[in-house]
Structures are given as structure tokens and as C-alpha cells.
């Protein structure tokens, strides 16, 4: 790199020299975006070219970032919500000197490279994986929430958005919550290049319509020509100047800007330029350059956010036999965890039912109400995890898992650390009916990369597992039950993740009944009834569904002649039964005799006991299944 230009952050306008530099940087970003994608033979150069001017001015005059220290707490954040513009992002990294030319040009999109098709946090300057559109801005709301309310650091969160993704409802959940929480430290820059993958976007260049929407949702809209460097500069300065309102810069741009033969032309989304076209384009742009720039330093006076020392956590205790809903135990446990300064709780406007709201009383400053916007609920958790917090997001299990499932999927891809507690799972909820019953959440959550899936059956196990969740990486999900059931375990019992509990094991056991959550209680009842009928049975409390205690499972198989009844308040596909069977695929324990009991058909409203029985998962059905296996 040949030149090093000192940045001039702040509100003063760019002079001619600076404008020239910005132009040269933008040109280099364009050239590099073309180079790496043409070399890879795939990627999105045209979507990078439209935003190059925006990013050039941002870098030179507004972004405050110490590139040698990406973990610095007072660094700004830059999130590419339009993750497909990764050539531009990686070209930025080259321009600030953290990526060398060879890696950029020769490894992009190649196997083994850090420079993947869409940005991944394997790169230390990338906060979150993007590429599923409509997620980067919601995630950034979480980062900005942390900045304003928890870190209390003056960093700005900049987000480059595409125009196509403005059709995702999640973007409006994000703008709404950003405005509600007065996140002046959040700036979205929308690259309105008029063309989506498949043709013109819905609003094309109707900038005023975008602006109306943004303003109606409570943010400040600034409409500019996204290739006018001075206008970009003013807009970004304005964006940072208002501490209490997020800004959405709506930049009218031209897709493929800088390569006239394909500018604003359909059919060039997601296509690398052919080599000859790339050569022509690069030559016309002035060829390869080695401009090296430095962004402004983060505000020096800003202290690093310091974790306050945690007081000892005093978990709630319960008496054996007491009837307590596991959601109540969750509320009590999470409130006890409030002494840990990293713990944050997010609610989807059902905190009085989930008992997440109990935390609000204990620690209102670390409780955030997301209202009924579950995608933003998860995205906020992801953003908070970027800043090192321990977020617990909670709602009814049906809504917590299914509504934002794509956000949970991407949290897995980000390898973000988020904790999810879904209450009111299964037919056990009773009268509200199937719309409120999570019956597919275990299958869905098991399939998430990095996931842990927990389903405790009583208050002490819930309490212990909620405490463990705080220190467990990845996407950690706990399923809780609506109704109150007896406490089974003493207050000092331990519940390691990946473990299970065996009840009533004896040398003559003919069958093992495996349940979790509400079905644990049904298994215990069935075992009592079987014992009275002369069929000794043990019960496994499979509170940790993923990871699953395979060693104990195999030992159990051997002890009971491989006769198992697995019972779950969940559809019988991919849930607890699936988890058990997958663990036994190559078990080498002999022939299996396993009955899988799950919810059959579409449940209705009714009393929990009626619904559990109608679903085929009550003690009566468990007993019958066990008898059939034992007789066979």
C-alpha cells in the first residue's frame, strides 16, 4: 500500500481534496469488488458497485474504528445487512489494511477461505452472519440497544441495507423498535439501486415512499443521491448528530455504477463480470490502485464497558411435592441471575405468562420489551450477544421458535450465544387450542447448528438448567410447561447439560419409560401402575434432549432388554423419539423394541388431562405401550 491518509472525522464538510480521496477510494472499492468476484466466478459485484460511494465516505469521514483491535468496546459497528455485497465489504477490509490483496483476490468464495460468499463472523470485523435478507438491521438494533442502555459507549452502529430487503416485515420491526428505544446510535444506509434479483424492486426509485414509511415508523429519513459524495457526507454527519432518533439514509443509487455497459441493467444480479468485461471495466476505472486509508479512532475518552462484579447467585429453592409450573421456576431463576451484570432479558409482550416479566421487577434496566415482534426479539438477543451480554429471550414456545426460526437459524450460522425459553409448550396448555401449542419446536431446535435443547420436568431442574444456560455457548433452548406439577428433585440435585436422571431402576426392570417435561410425570405415573401390575419399569427424565446422555441410554437398553417407551408432548417426527432413535442407530445393544408416543393428529381445546389422553401420551397409553412391548 502506497499512501496513508489521515481521516478527519466529524461534522465539518469534506473539502475538495477529501472529496477527491473519497472518489479514489470508491473507485478502488469498485475495482476490487470486480476483481475478487470475477476471479471467483461468482458473487455480487453489481450490488457492491452501487454502494461503493456510500461506504467510501462512511470510512473516510464518519466511521470510528481501530482496525488492529476489533474487540475494542468503543469501536463503531458496521453490519452489511445486504450480505451479498461481500465483495465491497472485503474490499473495505483491504483498504484499511487488515486484508491483503492476495487473500482478497485469490481466495474469495473458495473452499477454506475466510472470505465466504456472505460475511461470516470468522472474520474478526464481522459481528453477525448475514445473507438471509432482512436480518442485519434487526441484529444491529440489538447492538445499538447495548450501546445506549448497557455499554453506554458512544459507538455508532452503521448498517448497509439493500432495497429488496425492505419488503421483509422484519426490517419494519427493526425500525419501529429502534425508534421506540430512541436509538440515535443506529444508522441504516439503504442502497436503493432499484433492481432486485429478479427485476425491479417493488418501489424502485420511489424515494418519497420509502421516506414516508421510515418517518411513519419513527425514524428520521434522509433522502440523497447515493453517488453524490458531499450529500452522503452531510447525511452521515446528520445521522450521528441526533442522539435520540435513528436515521435511515435512503440513497438513490445505480446498480453496477461505474461499469456503464451494465449500469441499471436487469439480468446482472448476482453475476460476476466475465473476464473480458472485468478487464475493460477496471481499465476504464483507472486500473488497480493501492490506496490505504485509516478510519478515525474511537472516542478516546470513552471508557471500556466494565462488567460489574457479580454478587453470588442465590437460586430459588423448592420443596419436594410442591406443585410449581416450570415457567414459574424460570421466572424465579432468571430473577436470581439478575445479580450477574451480563444477563439481559427480552420479552415478547407475554412476560406475565412466561414469567420473564419477573426479571423486570428484579432488574428493570436490563429488561427490554420487544412487544409482539418475535423476529426482532431474537435479533435483539443476537445483537446483545455481539456485545458480550447473556441475553435470554422468552415467549410462548410456539411463537418463540416458529415465528423467528430463520433468525434462530442464522444465530446458529453466526455461532452467536443466545438463550431462549419457550413456555406453554405442547397440548398440555389446554383450552387455548392448537394455535398456541408448540408441537414442532423440539424438532426445529434440534436441527439448529450449535443448539442445546432442554426440557425439564420440575422446578429445581428448571432452576438449575436456567442457571447453566447462562454459561452455555450457542443457541440454548429451554422448553417450559404451563401447568403446575410436583417437585421431584431436592434443591441440591445437579443437572448437567447432556445428562439425564434415572428413576426407580431395579435389576428386574422389563422396560424403560423415557419422558421429559410434562411426560416425565406421566411416565412416573405409568411406572407406578405397571409396578402394581407386576411389571417393573424404570423412568428416564431426559431433561437434556440435545446433547443426549447416550451412555446412560445404552446402559438402560442393556438393563431392560432394549424395551423402551419414549413419550413426548410434541409431534412424533424429529422430537424426543427421533433423538433417542438416532442415538441408537449404531448402538450394538441387540434388537430394539421401542414404542414412540407423540401427539397424533390435530389437537383441540380442552383440559390438559383430556388433551394428553386424546393425543395418546397419557399414563394410560404409556402403560399400554409398555405392556405390549413386554409381552411381545
Specify the stretch interacting with its own copies by CB under 8 A; choose among 111-119, 322-330, 416-424, 615-623.
Answer: 111-119
| CB nearer its own copies, residue 456 or residue 572 | 572
Q: Does 558 bind its own copies (CB under 8 A)?
A: no
Catalytic amino acids? Answer: 374
Specify the stretch interacting with its own copies by CB under 8 A; choose among 285-293, 369-377, 384-392, 517-525.
Answer: 369-377
| CB nearer its own copies, residue 288 or residue 602 | 602
**Which of positions 160-219 make contact with its own copies (CB under 8 A)?**
164-165, 167-173, 176, 180, 196-198, 201-202, 209, 212-213, 215-218
For its own copies, which residue of 592, 620, 624, 627 counts as binding (CB under 8 A)? 592
Helix or strand or coil: residue 95?
Answer: helix
The backbone region for 244, taken as left when phi is positive above 0, alpha when psi lies in -120 to 50, beta otherwise, is alpha
| CB nearer its own copies, residue 412 or residue 536 | 412
Handedness of CA 473, 461, 477, 551 (dihedral sign): positive
Q: Does 268 bind its own copies (CB under 8 A)?
A: no
- Least distance to its own copies from the beta carbon of 352, Å? 5
Specify the stretch interacting with its own copies by CB under 8 A; choose among 92-100, 244-252, 342-350, 496-504.
Answer: 342-350
Specify the stretch interacting with its own copies by CB under 8 A; choose among 4-12, 348-356, 492-500, 526-534.
Answer: 348-356
Question: How far apart, in whole angstroms, are the C-alpha atoms of residue 15 and residue 437?
Answer: 61
How many chain residues touch its own copies (CB under 8 A)?
119
16-40 and 52-61 helices, crossing angle to 10°: 130
Q: Does 129 bind its own copies (CB under 8 A)?
A: yes
**Which of positions 378-437 make contact with its own copies (CB under 8 A)?**
398-399, 401-403, 405-406, 409-410, 412-413, 415, 431-436
**Which of positions 428-467 make contact with its own copies (CB under 8 A)?**
431-436, 439-440, 443-444, 446-449
Question: How far apart, in whole angstroms, are the C-alpha atoms of residue 205 and residue 571?
Answer: 47
Question: How far apart, in whole angstroms, are the C-alpha atoms of residue 543 and residue 401?
Answer: 18
Q: State the burial class of residue 224 (Cβ atoms within 10 Å of its Cβ: 0-12, 13-18, 19+).
A: buried
Q: Does 288 bind its own copies (CB under 8 A)?
A: no
Q: Does 120 bind its own copies (CB under 8 A)?
A: yes
- Least distance to its own copies from the beta carbon of 305, Å? 28
Q: Does 364 bind its own copies (CB under 8 A)?
A: no
Please name every residue paired with 559 in a beta bridge, in sequence order, or none if there are none: none
The residues, any chain, with a CB within 8 Å of residue 474's CB and separated by 6 or more, are: 412, 415, 417, 450, 451, 452
**Which of positions 22-51 make contact with its own copies (CB under 8 A)?**
40, 42-43
Could you tell me if 45 and 33 are in contact, meaning their C-beta atoms sit under 8 angstroms apart? yes
Helix or strand or coil: residue 545?
Answer: strand
- Least distance to its own copies from the beta carbon of 545, Å? 10
Question: How far apart, in whole angstroms, are the C-alpha atoms of residue 326 and residue 129?
Answer: 33
Q: Write the DSSP string, 579-624.
A: HHHHHTTT--SS--EEEEE---S---SS-HHHHHHHTT-SHHHHHH
- Least distance to its own copies from the beta carbon of 355, Å? 12
Handedness of CA 426, 431, 434, 438 (dihedral sign): negative
Question: How far apart, in whole angstroms, are the C-alpha atoms of residue 466 and residue 327?
Answer: 11
**Which of positions 599-618 make contact with its own copies (CB under 8 A)?**
601-602, 604-607, 610-611, 614
Residue 316 sits at the vertex; the CA angle it makes with 310 and 319, to the nearest 5 degrees, is: 160
What are the Cα distances from residue 548, in Å, to 416, 520, 521? 22, 16, 19
- Least distance to its own copies from the beta carbon of 588, Å? 8
Q: Does 347 bind its own copies (CB under 8 A)?
A: yes
Torsion of CA 65, 70, 76, 81, to 10 degrees: 120
The backbone region for 596, taken as left when phi is positive above 0, alpha when psi lies in -120 to 50, beta otherwise, is beta
- Least distance to its own copies from the beta carbon of 225, Å? 22
Q: Measure CA 490 to chain center.
A: 34
- Least distance to its own copies from the beta carbon of 406, Å? 4
| CB nearer its own copies, residue 460 or residue 577 | 577
**Which of positions 516-545 make contact with its own copies (CB under 8 A)?**
none
Please name every residue paired with 223 in a beta bridge, in sequence order, or none if there are none: 250
Per-residue x/- track, 294-333, its own copies (CB under 8 A): ----------------------------------------
The residues, any chain, with a CB within 8 Å of residue 99's CB and separated by 6 or more, are: 90, 93, 115
Specify the stretch interacting with its own copies by CB under 8 A; choose among 90-98, 143-151, 159-167, 281-289.
Answer: 159-167
Could you tell me if 460 and 428 are in contact, meaning their C-beta atoms sit under 8 angstroms apart? no
- Least distance to its own copies from the beta carbon of 297, Å? 32
Question: How far apart, in whole angstroms, are the C-alpha atoms of residue 178 and residue 15?
Answer: 33
For its own copies, which residue of 579, 622, 626, 630 counts as binding (CB under 8 A)? 579
| CB nearer its own copies, residue 434 or residue 504 | 434
Q: Does 71 bind its own copies (CB under 8 A)?
A: no
- Least distance to its own copies from the beta carbon of 494, Å? 26
| CB nearer its own copies, residue 401 or residue 488 | 401
- Least distance to its own copies from the beta carbon of 604, Å? 6
Amino acid at each position: 500500500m502506497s499512501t496513508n491518509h489521515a481521516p478527519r472525522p466529524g461534522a465539518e464538510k469534506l473539502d475538495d481534496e477529501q472529496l477527491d480521496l473519497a472518489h479514489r477510494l470508491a473507485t478502488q472499492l469498485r475495482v476490487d469488488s470486480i476483481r475478487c468476484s470475477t476471479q471467483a466466478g461468482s458473487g455480487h459485484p453489481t450490488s457492491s458497485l452501487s454502494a461503493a460511494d456510500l461506504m467510501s465516505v462512511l470510512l473516510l469521514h464518519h466511521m470510528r474504528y481501530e482496525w488492529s483491535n476489533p474487540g475494542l468496546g468503543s469501536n463503531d459497528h458496521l453490519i452489511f445487512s445486504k450480505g451479498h455485497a461481500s465483495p465491497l465489504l472485503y474490499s473495505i477490509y483491504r483498504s484499511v489494511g487488515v486484508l491483503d490483496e492476495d487473500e482478497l483476490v485469490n481466495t474469495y468464495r473458495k473452499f477454506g477461505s475466510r472470505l465466504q460468499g456472505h460475511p461470516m463472523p470468522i472474520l474478526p470485523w464481522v459481528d453477525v452472519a448475514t445473507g438471509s435478507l432482512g436480518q442485519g438491521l434487526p441484529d444491529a438494533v440489538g447492538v445499538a440497544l447495548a450501546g445506549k442502555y448497557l455499554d453506554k459507549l458512544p459507538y455508532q452502529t452503521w448498517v448497509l441495507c439493500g432495497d429488496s430487503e425492505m419488503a421483509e416485515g422484519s426490517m419494519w420491526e427493526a425500525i419501529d423498535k429502534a425508534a421506540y428505544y430512541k436509538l440515535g446510535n443506529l444508522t441504516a444506509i439503504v442502497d436503493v439501486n432499484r433492481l432486485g434479483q429478479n427485476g425491479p424492486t417493488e418501489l424502485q426509485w420511489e424515494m418519497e415512499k420509502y421516506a414516508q414509511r421510515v418517518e411513519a415508523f419513527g425514524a428520521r429519513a434522509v433522502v440523497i443521491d447515493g453517488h453524490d459524495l458531499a450529500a452522503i457526507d452531510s447525511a452521515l454527519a446528520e445521522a450521528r448528530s441526533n442522539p435520540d432518533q435513528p436515521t435511515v439514509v435512503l440513497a438513490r443509487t445505480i446498480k453496477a455504477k461505474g461499469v456503464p455497459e451494465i449500469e441499471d441493467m436487469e439480468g446482472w444480479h448476482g453475476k460476476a463480470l466475465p473476464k473480458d468485461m472485468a478487464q475493460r471495466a477496471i481499465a476504464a476505472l483507472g486500473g488497480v490502485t493501492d490506496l490505504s486509508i485509516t478510519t478515525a479512532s474511537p472516542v478516546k475518552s470513552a471508557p471500556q464497558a466494565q462488567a460489574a462484579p457479580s454478587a453470588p447467585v442465590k437460586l430459588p429453592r423448592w420443596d419436594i411435592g410442591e406443585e410449581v409450573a416450570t415457567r414459574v421456576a424460570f421466572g424465579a431463576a432468571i430473577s436470581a441471575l439478575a445479580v450477574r451484570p451480563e444477563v439481559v432479558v427480552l420479552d415478547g409482550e407475554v412476560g406475565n405468562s412466561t414469567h420473564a416479566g419477573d426479571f423486570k421487577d428484579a432488574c428493570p434496566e436490563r429488561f427490554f420489551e420487544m412487544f409482539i415482534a418475535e423476529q426482532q426479539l431474537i435479533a435483539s438477543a443476537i445483537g446483545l450477544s455481539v456485545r458480550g451480554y447473556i441475553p435470554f429471550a422468552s415467549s410462548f414456545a410456539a411463537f418463540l421458535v416458529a415465528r423467528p426460526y430463520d433468525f434462530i437459524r442464522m444465530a446458529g450460522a453466526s455461532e452467536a450465544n443466545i438463550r431462549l425459553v419457550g413456555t406453554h409448550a405442547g397440548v398440555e396448555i389446554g383450552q387455548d387450542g392448537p394455535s398456541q401449542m408448540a408441537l414442532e419446536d423440539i424438532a426445529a431446535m434440534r436441527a439448529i447448528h450449535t443448539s442445546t435443547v432442554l426440557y425439564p420436568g420440575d422446578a429445581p431442574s428448571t432452576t438449575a438448567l436456567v442457571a447453566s444456560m447462562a454459561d452455555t455457548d450457542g443457541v440454548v433452548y429451554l422448553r417450559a410447561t404451563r401447568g403446575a406439577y410436583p417437585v421431584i428433585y431436592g434443591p441440591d440435585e445437579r443437572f448437567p447439560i447432556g445428562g439425564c436422571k434415572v428413576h426407580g431402576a431395579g435389576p428386574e426392570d422389563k422396560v424403560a419409560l423415557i419422558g421429559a417435561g410434562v411426560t416425565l410425570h406421566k411416565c412416573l405415573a405409568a411406572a407406578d401402575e405397571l409396578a402394581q401390575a407386576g411389571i417393573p419399569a424404570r423412568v428416564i427424565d431426559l431433561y437434556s434432549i440435545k446433547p443426549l446422555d447416550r451412555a446412560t441410554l445404552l446402559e438402560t437398553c442393556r438393563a431392560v432388554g432394549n424395551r423402551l417407551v419414549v413419550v413426548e408432548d410434541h409431534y412424533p417426527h424429529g422430537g424426543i423419539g427421533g433423538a433417542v432413535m438416532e442415538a441408537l442407530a449404531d448402538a450394538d445393544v441387540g434388537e430394539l423394541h421401542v414404542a414412540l408416543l407423540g401427539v397424533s393428529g390435530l389437537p383441540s381445546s380442552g383440559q390438559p388431562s383430556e388433551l394428553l389422553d386424546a393425543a395418546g401420551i397419557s399414563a394410560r397409553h404409556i402403560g399400554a405401550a409398555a405392556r405390549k412391548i413386554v409381552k411381545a
